[in-house]
């Protein structure tokens, strides 16, 4: 894909965590990813797969003690990994923003939410006091907070979890960013509230024309809110495809395992699980396929040769020597 077309392009990104007296642990392994303008890309993975590390690395804020050791993050003609902290600060919030879970931890407990919103408009958009306030009110209305005039004066502890998450979304969208990263933003919410928040987030992103990297543990969400879906396992993209192709003809054994978790047929669930999958751990040697030790299809070469992320059908990429063949 051409760098000019993409809203954001990650190339050969590698993030490592130092290990005392040992080789560093690779959290994101030479990862390539590009997201089109206005596109919502779902990124699914289990805990420890490197989702959050990737999200933070895109903002050039790898979670300490992690370090970005290689790669390029192309945004707006610039490589975010080569910018000064000052240049980065103006890009974060204004052009790229992030929505995280645990909304109360993100909000300042001592400042009314209206003021928190208005200060963003003043600092980042250079608005004066009254138009910043008007913008904040409009944003609270956009995220469908009932009685927004009154809520402007509310402190974060006076809001329910769902309301606080709406405020965090309002903050993230305040500057109409071209790129939004949602990192498990709905994981702490109840299902009925989650559905409302998801709809709101995708609706506003589409309305503003923002591209979004939607990170989640729940593969079900991506089937309904994303244009393309990627699966990440141990810091590598294993499969990435347009939504229909991904769910109607999944090809990677790991994707099959994730989908099989929804099945009621115990034989089929079993079929995609290695007999003692949870008891086996891959040696982190960096050679061979990362999924080998949990894969029911693994053969000799899977242990020694790392498969490339290869395009199998149009736009459908799979990192597997023996992907499922489909007509």
Partner 1 sequence: MSVILEVEDLYKRFPVSGSRRYVQAINGVTFSVAAGETLGLVGESGSGKTTVGRCIVGLTELSAGRIRFKGEDISRPRARWPRHLLSKIQLVFQEPGESLDPRMQIGRSIEEPLLALKVAPSERRARAADAIERVGLGREMLELYPAELSAGQQQRVAIARAMITSPELVVLDEPTSALDPTARAEIIALLMKIQAELGTSYLFISHDLSTVRFISHRVAVMYLGMIVEQGGVDKVFAGPRHPYSAGLLSAVLLPHPHFSLESNIRLEGEIPSPINLPQGCFLASRCPLAIAHCRQEMPPPDNLGGGHIVHCWRHRDVAGMDRASDTFAEFQREAERILAEQKPTASICNLEGTPDG
Binding site for partner 1 (CB under 8 A): 46-47, 146, 160, 162-163, 190-195, 217-224, 243-244, 247-250, 253, 256-266, 268-279, 292-293, 295-300, 302-303, 322, 324-326
Q: Strands of 5-149 (E only): list them.
A: 8-17, 25-35, 40-44, 67-75, 78-79, 96-99
Give Cβ neighbours of residue 207 (< 8 Å, ≥ 6 apart): none
- Token pair 């797969």 in the structure block, residue: 49
Smallest Cα–Cα separation from 34: which of 12, 59, 60, 10? 10
> Quick check: helix, strand or coil at residue 319?
strand
CB 136 within 8 A of CB 118: yes
Please write down the long-range contacts of 237-240, taking CB distance under 8 Å and 24 or more positions apart. 237/31, 237/32, 237/33, 237/309, 237/317, 237/319, 238/290, 238/291, 238/318, 238/319, 238/320, 239/316, 239/317, 239/318, 239/319, 239/320, 240/33, 240/309, 240/316, 240/317
CA angle 38, 39, 44 (to 5 degrees): 145
Beta bridge partners of 316: 313
Strand-strand pairing, 236-242 and 309-313 = unpaired
What is the number of other CB atoms lying within 10 angstroms of the CB of residue 175? 18
Instruction: Report the first-to-last Cα separation within the chain, whole angstroms.
Output: 25
Distance CA 284, CA 222 (A): 29
């Amino acid at each position: 894909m051409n760098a000019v077309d993409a809203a954001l392009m990650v190339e050969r990104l590698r993030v490592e965590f130092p290990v005392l007296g040992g080789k560093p642990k690779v959290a994101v392994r030479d990862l390539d990813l590009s997201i089109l303008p206005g596109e919502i890309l779902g990124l699914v993975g289990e805990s420890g797969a490197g989702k959050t590390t990737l999200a933070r690395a895109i903002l050039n804020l790898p979670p300490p003690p992690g370090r970005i050791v290689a790669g390029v993050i192309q945004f707006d003609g610039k490589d975010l990994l080569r910018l000064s902290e000052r240049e980065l600060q103006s890009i974060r919030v204004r052009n790229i923003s992030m929505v995280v879970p645990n909304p109360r931890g993100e909000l300042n407990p001592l400042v009314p939410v209206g003021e928190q919103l208005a200060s963003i408009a003043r600092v980042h958009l250079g608005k004066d006091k009254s138009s910043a306030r008007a913008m904040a009110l409009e944003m609270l209305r956009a995220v469908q907070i009932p009685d927004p005039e009154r809520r402007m004066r509310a402190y974060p502890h006076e809001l329910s979890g769902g309301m606080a998450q709406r405020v965090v979304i309002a903050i993230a969208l305040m500057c109409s960013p071209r790129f939004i990263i949602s990192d498990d933003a709905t994981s702490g919410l109840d299902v009925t509230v989650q559905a409302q928040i998801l709809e709101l987030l995708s609706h506003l992103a589409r309305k503003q024309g923002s591209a979004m990297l939607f990170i989640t543990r729940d593969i079900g969400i991506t089937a309904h809110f994303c244009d393309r879906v990627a699966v990440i396992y141990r810091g590598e993209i294993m499969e990435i495809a347009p939504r229909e192709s991904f769910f109607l003809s999944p090809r990677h054994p790991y994707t099959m395992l994730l989908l099989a978790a929804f099945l009621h047929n115990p034989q089929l669930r079993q079929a995609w699980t290695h007999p003692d999958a949870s008891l086996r751990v891959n040696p982190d040697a960096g050679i061979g396929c990362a999924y080998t030790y949990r894969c029911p299809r693994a053969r000799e070469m899977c242990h020694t040769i790392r498969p490339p992320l290869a395009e199998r059908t149009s736009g459908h990429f799979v990192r597997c020597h023996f992907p499922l063949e489909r007509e």
